[in-house]
Amino acid sequence: MAHSVRLVIALLHIFALSFLDILKISNGLESDIYCLRSIRDSLEDPHNYLKNSWNFNNNTAGFICEFGGVECWHPNANEVLNIQLSHMMLKGQFPRDIKNCTHLIGLDLSANELSGPLPFVSHSVSKLNNSINKFFGEIPKSFVNCSFLNVLKLDHNQLTSQISPQISDLNRSKFFNVANNQLS
C-alpha cells in the first residue's frame, strides 16, 4: 500500500512539472512559437530545410531553440533572439507574422528568393539583413523608429523611391547598405 501511495505521489509530481512546462510554453511565449510556425508555413522551402528541422510536435521547454537558424535568449525558454535563414533558397513574400517574435533582435533572410514589399519588423531589432532577394517598393519609413538598429542591409534587391532623410537619425547605426537597388 505504501508503495502505491509513493508511486501515485511520484506520478502527480511528474504531471505537475509537465503541466508547468506546458503553461510556460502557452503563456507569453506562444507568440514566438506562432511566429516560427507562420514563417515555416508561409515560405516555399524547396530543400525542406525548415520542414526537416522545425518540428512543432514537441512541447518541452526550449524546443524551438533547437530549430536550425534559431537562437534563443536562453536554451530552456521559447523566446527567439535571432533568426538566421540565409542561403536556403526560400521563396515567397516576407513573412508578415514575424512581428509575433516579440523578443527578436536579429533577422537575416539574405540570399534567398523572397519578394514583395518590406514590412516593418520591430522597434527592438538591432540587425536586419534582407540583402540579395527580390524585395521591391520603398524602404519602410517606420525603420527610422528602430532606435536600436545597428545594421541594416537591403542591398541587391529591387527597392525604389527615395531614401528617407530621417534614416540619418538612427543614432546607433553602424552599417547601412542599400546598394544595387533603384533608390534615389
What is the pLDDT at residue 22? 44
- Cell readout for 179 is 546598394
What is the pLDDT at residue 59? 79
The answer to whether the CB of 74 falls within 8 A of the CB of 80 is: no
Secondary element (H or E) of residue 115: strand 113-116
The fold for domain 30-183 equals 3.80.10
* Rounded distance between C-alpha atoms, residue 80 and residue 32, angstroms: 6
Report whether pLDDT(7) > 80: no
Give the domain ranges of the chain: 30-183
What is the pLDDT at residue 14? 57
pTM for this one?
0.82
